[in-house]
Structure 1
Amino acid sequence: MTRSTRPRRLSAGLAATALVLTTLGAATAASAVPAAPAAAEPGPLMNYVVNTKASPGHVRKVEKAVKAAGGKVLVSYQQIGVVVAQSTNPDFKVAVRTGRDGREVQSVGATRTAPVADGIPAAPAAAAAAGVTSSDLEAATAPVPDPRESEQWDNAQIKADQAHAITDGSRKVLVGINDSGVDDAHPDLAPNFDAKDSVNCTTNGVADQTPGGWRPTTSDHGTHVAGTVAAARNGVGIVGVAPGVRIASVKVVNDGGYIFPEYAICGFIWSAEKHMDVTNHSYFIDPFQYWCKDGADQGAVQEAVRRAVAYSTDRGVLAVAAAGNANYDLANKTTDNSSPNDGTPVPRTIDANCLNMPTELPHVITVASTVQGGARSGFSNFGLNKIDVAAPGSSILSTIPGGGYGKKSGTSMASPHVAGVAALVKSAHPWFGPLQIEAALRKQADDTACPAVVDARCTGTTKNNAFFGEGNVDALDAVKRGW
């Protein structure tokens, strides 16, 4: 996914284990680990993921290994066997594997290539006041148009306007906007905003519920995405695809516009523990556009993020993600010239083991972008058996901070349309889990053929091809009962 899909430089069941968020003070190297290079000069401050077996005992041993290697534990996830650590020891990756506790380490990798600039994590503040908990809104037989709804060709194209005659969505359904923050004071978002389940993950991936910390600071991207999902039907501005559901802000984009792995992992685990139904991810995880499984650091990070996504899915959350804006064939990867983007990019050869995350991870719905009329947006990534469905993403009108409205383009704008439809599916079929919602999105999508003018890149059939996947998402068919 190019940076243009992301919040900066936009072109437009497992056991219900308690979430462990442990913030520890700086640790010193342990003398009991003679093999560790204790005399090494301090290096740059770096963050790491350290993977082990998913059990409290194994995680505790790895925490000890981290401290013995001259690091500190930022956060531990016993549910998935991942510890996020920080150290200035230039030999940390070797040192953390030494000694008896180090034998519990399965893999370890740096989460970025440039030194960490995040602030020191603060102790989480008390949760904000309870969010919206009003009674269920199931039917809207005669929806009243909002003032700018007539400009929303995108909702009409996916038949969301017709679906609203069946349901505007249920208050029991919660969608996580995993993005750059949401302006909860916006008049079109405030009625549906859930503050108690919102969070800021952008300080080393440590979940922080300080009131307002999940608001946008340098980007309007998350607020725009939120409006597409669930702008309220309230006689103001626009109407979202699912205007009756609740939304929470899961801030995973820092002030520099980066989404580092520890931020994304925090967001997925938070969404799972807060029992969200759907999450939207209009980003790729920095600093690599593609994380390669056989790369030492990248492989460890790919595994840590994969575990977080799988845990979230197992806990009932459907993740929807943007395909990316590089006009790139995800099914036939050859080169990556833009990574790492936190330093000097180094052109490299890549293959199918290199994944754009989170969009290429299992059971994440990958969304391509279309223009008005349903044709593919020229910037949209594509790929046979990579794209699941398509949705409008070019020149989309939605909310921006400060009570305003604006248009943006990108697969970042396509993805929240599908997240909104998924929320409608959950509203109409509350017994559905994420895999059933995923099946519904695929089954009810409108088959879309490759362009009439032959484009060799559009491989596949009308029912499933590289440009549109299983077709353009259809909100009306998705909410009908009895299919």
Structure 2
Amino acid sequence: MLGFSMIQLTRNYSERFDKDLRQKLIHLYKPFRRTPCFLHRPLENFLKRTKKFPVIIEFDQKDVPLSSSLKKARQLVRKKARSKLKYEYSSTSSCSAILTASSIEKLMHNDCHIKKIYYDREVKALLDVASPSIHAEQLNEQGLTGKDVNIAIVDTGVHPHPDLKQPTNRIIAFKDFINNKMEPYDDNGHGTHCAGDAAGNGFSSNGKYRGPAPESGVIGVKVLNQMGSGSLSTIVSGIQWCINHKEEHQINVISLSLGAAADESDCNDPLVQIVEKAWESGIVVCVAAGNSGPDQRTIATPGISSKVVTVGAIDDQNTVDRADEEVASFSSRGPACGGVSKPDLLAPGANIISLRAPGSFLDKITKSNRVEDNYFSLSGTSMATPICSGVAALVLQAYPEFSPDEVKQQLLQAAVDRGLPSYVQGAGYLDAEKAVTLNDNSGKSEKSTQR
């Protein structure tokens, strides 16, 4: 078995293939156990030509521009059937592709300046008193509502719910990387709930169910399908789109209630790279910690990034009294890959009532979660993350000159310490009012509320 070409390839280039791709290439030989030896070579050649692998190729750009590396890679792949390069991600010097094993072998044996190839694995969505419990209502009453701050919900889409459309339409833009539709929709329901967690205005409930930033604009970026799953490449495409259209749509915050299991051997995977590029471009990125708690070292990627705001979930017991709150058992614990201290903070994430997308997948299979006609109850760090994103919008409304690093520092300094280990709570429980009033002595907050 060791003499087969894909085995040799994974051994020779082990550092240039992520763990998932190495396993996929080695599993190419799984049928050989039941195949006569004299057929091994013909079968290997057949599988190398026909078996396709979705991948993300990261190029090393120290000496050669990305355009040159892509050109050479395209020329090599074009000669191979069943293979093609798909989308270019300029922010991370990478591209997505569909490659056969033979194409991968060809690329590695030629000098295409490839730094690493990742298997384009699956990424999933991470599944009434939340705003009062984080003290957002006090800010809303002072005029801090997220107005003129836009939040991109990178998820399953956004349903044109009345709480986002009335009295004025706040769905600023919509981009669909799954079905390429032009008008806002959500066939799963998860993204719509997240949009409401951040920016629902309670129009259909007389203000009862609303997010911390009820006047923020919403940009829907659909990267997950009807079942709530996608791939590394679609997520990277969605975030790259946000970076490219940051100025056009005035994207200030990205909310990512999705993730995949982190590879402890690689703390700088494509998702980490692209969220950090978004951060460096001036966009605050809030990411779900994951729902794999209470075990330690379960933070999902891209929440393992040291730059972004990684959000765990607290169960507020459906009260505004913080005395009876506890960290949700499902909330992932740190430390993250490479020993990074995560999560950064906690926000409400249990039994959160937010916007319903009628007829969506979640709406059909969990009818018992419906609340009145227009709302829906869900739990998870998925819900905690957009709540934090809404608070980030309030901070940016108060301090529009703040960089992502300054917004993060403001959120962490204002968090209420619960007396728990940092790998459980991070800095503590999110406090919106304190996050905005920390700098009251400078006069900034007072000025911003008078705008």
Give the Cα–Cα distance (whole angstroms) in 2 for the partners of residues 330 and 264 of structure 1: 26
Question: Any conservation in 1 of the 2:72–2:112 contact (CA below 8 Å)?
Answer: no
Segments of 5+ residues of structure 1 without an aligned counterpart are: 1-36, 114-151, 334-354, 451-458, 460-464
In the alignment, which residue of structure 1 is the partner of 2:162?
A: 187
2:72 to 64, 67, 81: 64
Change (3 A) 1:81 1:38: farther
Q: CA deviation at 1:359?
A: 0.9
In the alignment, which residue of structure 2 is the partner of 1:291?
A: 263
Give the Cα–Cα distance (whole angstroms) in 1 for the partners of residues 327 and 172 of structure 2: 38
In the alignment, which residue of structure 1 is the partner of 2:310?
A: 366
Any residues of structure 2 matched to 1:451-470 within 5 Å, and which? 459=421, 465-470=422-427
Q: Deviations over 1:76-131 (max 9, x none)?
A: 122321111123x22222212333xx332111122138xxxxxxxxxxxxxxxxxx
In the alignment, which residue of structure 2 is the partner of 1:428?
A: 398
Q: CA deviation at 1:362?
A: 2.3
Q: CA deviation at 1:423?
A: 0.7
Give the Cα–Cα distance (whole angstroms) in 1 for the partners of residues 61 and 173 of structure 2: 25
In the alignment, which residue of structure 1 is the partner of 2:87?
A: 75
Q: Deviations over 1:197-222 (max 9, x none)?
A: 3212236xxxx5x412x5212x1111
Give the Cα–Cα distance (whole angstroms) in 2 for the partners of residues 279 and 83 of structure 1: 22
Q: CA deviation at 1:441?
A: 0.4
Q: CA deviation at 1:466?
A: 2.8
Question: Any conservation in 2 of the 1:59–1:78 contact (CA below 8 Å)?
Answer: no
Change (3 A) 1:167 1:109: same
Change (3 A) 1:383 1:409: same
Does 2:173 match 1:197?
A: yes
Change (3 A) 1:166 1:63: farther
In the alignment, which residue of structure 1 is the partner of 2:11?
A: none
Give the Cα–Cα distance (whole angstroms) in 2 for the partners of residues 175 and 358 of structure 1: 18
Question: Any conservation in 2 of the 1:323–1:387 contact (CA below 8 Å)?
Answer: yes
Give the Cα–Cα distance (whole angstroms) in 1 for the partners of residues 215 and 172 of structure 2: 18
1:109 to 90, 99, 118: 118
Question: Any conservation in 2 of the 1:259–1:284 contact (CA below 8 Å)?
Answer: no
1:265 to 228, 236, 242: 236
Q: Deviations over 1:134-172 (max 9, x none)?
A: xxxxxxxxxxxxxxxxxx221111001111122343432
In the alignment, which residue of structure 2 is the partner of 1:223?
A: 192
Give the Cα–Cα distance (whole angstroms) in 1 for the partners of residues 226 and 132 of structure 2: 35
1:156 to 127, 132, 144: 132
Q: CA deviation at 1:181?
A: 0.8
In the alignment, which residue of structure 2 is the partner of 1:394?
A: 350
Question: Any conservation in 2 of the 1:46–1:112 contact (CA below 8 Å)?
Answer: no
In terms of fraction of residues, the more helix-rich structure is 2
SS in 2 for 1:183: coil
Does 2:435 match 1:475?
A: no
SS in 2 for 1:267: helix
Structure-2-length-normalised TM-score: 0.72
2:150 to 158, 162, 174: 174
1:310 to 268, 276, 284: 276
For 2:357, the aligned partner's letter is P
Question: Any conservation in 1 of the 2:272–2:304 contact (CA below 8 Å)?
Answer: no
1:381 to 324, 328, 332: 332
Any residues of structure 2 matched to 1:317-328 within 5 Å, and which? 317-328=283-294
Change (3 A) 1:314 1:284: same
Question: Any conservation in 1 of the 2:172–2:217 contact (CA below 8 Å)?
Answer: no
Q: Deviations over 1:350-369 (max 9, x none)?
A: xxxxx721111121211111
Change (3 A) 1:328 1:160: same
Segments of 5+ residues of structure 2 without an aligned counterpart are: 1-43, 123-127, 317-323, 336-340, 359-372, 442-451
Change (3 A) 1:235 1:412: closer
Give the stretch that moved more between structures: 321-330 or 422-431. 321-330
SS in 2 for 1:467: helix
Question: Any conservation in 2 of the 1:183–1:216 contact (CA below 8 Å)?
Answer: yes
SS in 2 for 1:108: strand
Aligned residues: 355
Any residues of structure 2 matched to 1:23-38 within 5 Å, and which? none
Any residues of structure 2 matched to 1:6-155 within 5 Å, and which? 42-53=49-60, 57-69=65-77, 70=80, 71-87=83-99, 89-99=100-110, 102-112=111-121, 152-155=128-131
Structure-1-length-normalised TM-score: 0.68
Give the Cα–Cα distance (whole angstroms) in 1 for the partners of residues 191 and 116 of structure 2: 33
Question: Any conservation in 1 of the 2:96–2:233 contact (CA below 8 Å)?
Answer: yes
Give the Cα–Cα distance (whole angstroms) in 2 for the partners of residues 220 and 277 of structure 1: 23
Question: Any conservation in 2 of the 1:167–1:424 contact (CA below 8 Å)?
Answer: no
Question: Any conservation in 2 of the 1:169–1:428 contact (CA below 8 Å)?
Answer: no
Give the stretch that moved more between structures: 238-247 or 379-388. 379-388
Q: CA deviation at 1:236?
A: 4.0
Give the Cα–Cα distance (whole angstroms) in 2 for the partners of residues 109 and 378 of structure 1: 32
Q: CA deviation at 1:54?
A: 5.1
